């Protein structure tokens, strides 16, 4: 079956530091890959996505590249802000059923001023 493994947290960074959150996956076929962000007490918001190998998803300064050869989809941001503090979830879904996703356990990011 499908599975997603995320870098364990929590991660604490200073403002303007570089962020990497690792994500690797196991899936049959060619899944779509996603990063979601969850702010305290809120639901999940789609941050970015990639639907095929070598695609790069980007949004709000965050980026992730779909690497089929390493089955990875690492999240990066060059300069984090305090407002980026949240829980980040990596997820995958079959291309034919976008709503049924397998999620990683989440990585909590805290950015200090």
**Sites of contact with another protein (CB under 8 A):** 4, 32, 34, 36, 42-46, 49, 51, 89, 91, 93, 97-106
Angle CA 106–39–109, to nearest 5 = 50
Residue nearer to another protein on the CB measure, 69 or 100: 100
CB of 91 to another protein, least distance (A): 8
Please, which residue, 97 or 113, has the CB nearer to another protein?
A: 97
Rounded to the nearest 5 percent, the helix, strand and coil shares of the chain are 5, 50, 45
Please, what is the minimum distance in Å from the beta carbon of residue 99 to another protein? 3
Residue pair 31/50 in contact by the 8 Å Cβ criterion: no
């Amino acid at each position: 079956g499908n599975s997603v493994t995320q870098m364990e947290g929590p991660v604490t960074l200073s403002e303007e530091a570089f962020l990497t959150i690792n994500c690797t996956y196991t899936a049959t076929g060619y899944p779509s890959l996603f990063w979601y962000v969850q702010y305290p007490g809120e639901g999940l918001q789609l941050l970015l996505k990639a639907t095929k190998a070598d695609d790069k998803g980007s949004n709000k300064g965050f980026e992730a590249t779909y690497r089929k050869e390493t089955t990875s989809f690492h999240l990066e941001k060059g300069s984090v802000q305090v407002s980026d503090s949240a829980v980040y979830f990596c997820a995958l879904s079959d291309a034919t059923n976008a709503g049924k996703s397998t999620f990683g356990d989440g990585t909590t990011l805290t950015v200090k001023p």
